[in-house]
Protein backbone atom coordinates (compact mmCIF):
# COMPACT_ATOMS: atom_id res chain seq x y z
CA UNK A 1 0.00 0.00 0.00
CA UNK A 2 1.46 3.33 -1.05
CA UNK A 3 -0.68 5.52 1.20
CA UNK A 4 -1.00 5.89 4.97
CA UNK A 5 -3.83 7.70 6.71
CA UNK A 6 -2.69 10.56 8.92
CA UNK A 7 -4.74 9.16 11.80
CA UNK A 8 -3.26 5.65 11.52
CA UNK A 9 -1.35 4.47 14.59
CA UNK A 10 2.39 5.03 14.39
CA UNK A 11 4.52 1.93 13.91
CA UNK A 12 5.29 0.20 17.20
CA UNK A 13 8.85 -0.50 18.25
CA UNK A 14 8.24 -4.23 17.65
CA UNK A 15 7.00 -3.63 14.09
CA UNK A 16 10.01 -1.36 13.44
CA UNK A 17 12.35 -4.10 14.67
CA UNK A 18 10.61 -6.63 12.43
CA UNK A 19 11.02 -4.22 9.50
CA UNK A 20 14.78 -4.09 10.00
CA UNK A 21 15.43 -1.39 12.60
CA UNK A 22 18.16 -3.44 14.29
CA UNK A 23 19.98 -3.95 10.99
CA UNK A 24 19.85 -0.25 10.11
CA UNK A 25 23.09 0.72 11.92
CA UNK A 26 24.91 -2.06 10.10
CA UNK A 27 23.61 -0.92 6.72
CA UNK A 28 23.59 2.85 7.25
CA UNK A 29 26.07 3.35 10.07
CA UNK A 30 25.14 5.15 13.26
CA UNK A 31 25.46 8.56 11.58
CA UNK A 32 23.11 7.39 8.81
CA UNK A 33 20.54 6.25 11.37
CA UNK A 34 20.83 9.58 13.20
CA UNK A 35 20.39 11.44 9.92
CA UNK A 36 17.39 9.32 8.93
CA UNK A 37 15.75 10.13 12.27
CA UNK A 38 16.43 13.84 11.77
CA UNK A 39 14.90 13.78 8.29
CA UNK A 40 11.84 11.82 9.45
CA UNK A 41 11.21 14.18 12.37
CA UNK A 42 11.60 17.23 10.10
CA UNK A 43 9.12 15.90 7.55
CA UNK A 44 6.63 15.08 10.34
CA UNK A 45 6.97 18.65 11.70
CA UNK A 46 6.47 20.10 8.21
CA UNK A 47 3.34 17.97 7.69
CA UNK A 48 1.94 19.01 11.08
CA UNK A 49 2.59 22.67 10.33
CA UNK A 50 1.06 22.49 6.84
CA UNK A 51 -1.96 20.30 7.57
CA UNK A 52 -2.56 20.59 11.31
CA UNK A 53 -5.21 18.20 12.60
CA UNK A 54 -6.98 17.88 9.25
CA UNK A 55 -7.12 14.24 8.11
CA UNK A 56 -5.13 13.32 5.01
CA UNK A 57 -3.49 10.44 3.19
CA UNK A 58 0.30 10.43 3.10
CA UNK A 59 1.66 8.92 -0.11
CA UNK A 60 4.85 7.11 0.68
CA UNK A 61 7.86 5.89 -1.28
CA UNK A 62 6.84 5.70 -4.90
CA UNK A 63 9.87 4.73 -6.96
CA UNK A 64 10.16 4.02 -10.69
CA UNK A 65 13.16 2.07 -11.95
CA UNK A 66 15.92 4.09 -13.60
CA UNK A 67 15.11 2.65 -17.03
CA UNK A 68 11.47 3.76 -16.94
CA UNK A 69 11.41 7.57 -16.44
CA UNK A 70 9.52 9.21 -19.26
CA UNK A 71 7.59 6.01 -20.06
CA UNK A 72 4.43 7.18 -18.27
CA UNK A 73 4.67 4.33 -15.76
CA UNK A 74 4.97 6.65 -12.74
CA UNK A 75 2.00 8.72 -13.87
CA UNK A 76 -0.15 5.62 -14.41
CA UNK A 77 0.82 4.14 -11.03
CA UNK A 78 0.13 7.36 -9.15
CA UNK A 79 -3.14 8.06 -11.00
CA UNK A 80 -4.34 4.55 -10.06
CA UNK A 81 -3.41 5.12 -6.42
CA UNK A 82 -5.15 8.51 -6.43
CA UNK A 83 -8.27 6.88 -7.87
CA UNK A 84 -8.28 4.08 -5.26
CA UNK A 85 -7.75 6.51 -2.37
CA UNK A 86 -10.32 8.92 -3.79
CA UNK A 87 -13.01 6.25 -3.95
CA UNK A 88 -12.19 4.87 -0.49
CA UNK A 89 -11.96 8.23 1.26
CA UNK A 90 -13.14 11.08 -1.00
CA UNK A 91 -12.97 13.81 1.67
CA UNK A 92 -9.28 13.46 2.61
CA UNK A 93 -6.53 15.50 1.05
CA UNK A 94 -3.34 13.78 -0.08
CA UNK A 95 0.14 14.80 1.02
CA UNK A 96 3.65 13.72 0.14
CA UNK A 97 7.21 14.83 0.59
CA UNK A 98 10.01 14.88 -1.93
CA UNK A 99 13.59 15.96 -1.95
CA UNK A 100 14.05 15.91 -5.73
CA UNK A 101 13.28 19.04 -7.79
CA UNK A 102 12.16 16.98 -10.81
CA UNK A 103 9.53 15.30 -8.63
CA UNK A 104 8.03 18.70 -7.74
CA UNK A 105 7.23 19.20 -11.43
CA UNK A 106 5.91 15.64 -11.81
CA UNK A 107 3.58 15.86 -8.80
CA UNK A 108 2.51 19.38 -9.80
CA UNK A 109 1.18 18.01 -13.10
CA UNK A 110 -1.01 15.65 -11.06
CA UNK A 111 -2.59 18.44 -9.02
CA UNK A 112 -0.26 18.62 -6.02
CA UNK A 113 0.73 22.07 -4.75
CA UNK A 114 3.76 23.05 -2.69
CA UNK A 115 2.81 23.97 0.87
CA UNK A 116 6.28 23.75 2.46
CA UNK A 117 9.66 24.39 0.81
CA UNK A 118 12.47 24.25 3.37
CA UNK A 119 15.94 22.90 3.95
CA UNK A 120 16.50 19.97 6.28
CA UNK A 121 19.76 19.88 8.19
CA UNK A 122 22.62 22.33 8.43
CA UNK A 123 25.85 22.98 6.62
CA UNK A 124 26.99 21.02 3.57
CA UNK A 125 24.73 18.08 4.48
CA UNK A 126 21.55 20.21 4.26
CA UNK A 127 19.11 19.52 1.44
CA UNK A 128 15.86 20.96 0.17
CA UNK A 129 12.57 19.25 1.00
CA UNK A 130 9.08 19.96 -0.26
CA UNK A 131 5.71 19.00 1.21
CA UNK A 132 3.05 18.91 -1.48
CA UNK A 133 -0.72 18.57 -1.02
CA UNK A 134 -3.52 17.68 -3.40
CA UNK A 135 -7.12 18.55 -2.62
CA UNK A 136 -9.50 15.70 -1.79
CA UNK A 137 -11.24 13.70 -4.50
CA UNK A 138 -14.52 15.35 -3.50
CA UNK A 139 -12.97 18.80 -3.96
CA UNK A 140 -11.30 17.71 -7.23
CA UNK A 141 -14.65 16.42 -8.54
CA UNK A 142 -16.40 19.64 -7.53
CA UNK A 143 -13.74 21.69 -9.30
CA UNK A 144 -13.52 19.36 -12.33
CA UNK A 145 -16.75 17.30 -12.68
CA UNK A 146 -15.25 15.39 -15.63
CA UNK A 147 -12.82 13.67 -13.23
CA UNK A 148 -15.71 11.57 -11.94
CA UNK A 149 -14.30 9.90 -8.83
| Interatomic CA distance for residues 15 and 20, integer angstroms | 9
Cβ contact 73:121 at 8 Å: no
Residue 80 has pLDDT above 70, yes or no: yes
- φ, ψ at 133 (rounded to 5°): -130, 140
Model-level pTM?
0.73
Residue 142 has pLDDT above 60, yes or no: no
Of the candidates 148, 131, 128, 129, which has an alpha carbon nearest to the alpha carbon of residue 140? 148
Which tens digits make up the pLDDT trace of 5-53?
A: 566 656 665 666 566 667 777 777 887 777 788 888 888 888 888 888 8
Alpha carbon 115 to chain centroid distance?
13
Q: What is the pLDDT of residue 131?
A: 93
User: By three-state DSSP, how is residue 24 classified?
Assistant: helix
Q: What is the pLDDT of residue 125?
A: 82
Amino acid sequence: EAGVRSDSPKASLLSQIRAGLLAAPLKLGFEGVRRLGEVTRSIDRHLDRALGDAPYWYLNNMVVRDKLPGSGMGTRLLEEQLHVVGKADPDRRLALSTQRPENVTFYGRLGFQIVVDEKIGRGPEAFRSWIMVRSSAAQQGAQHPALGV
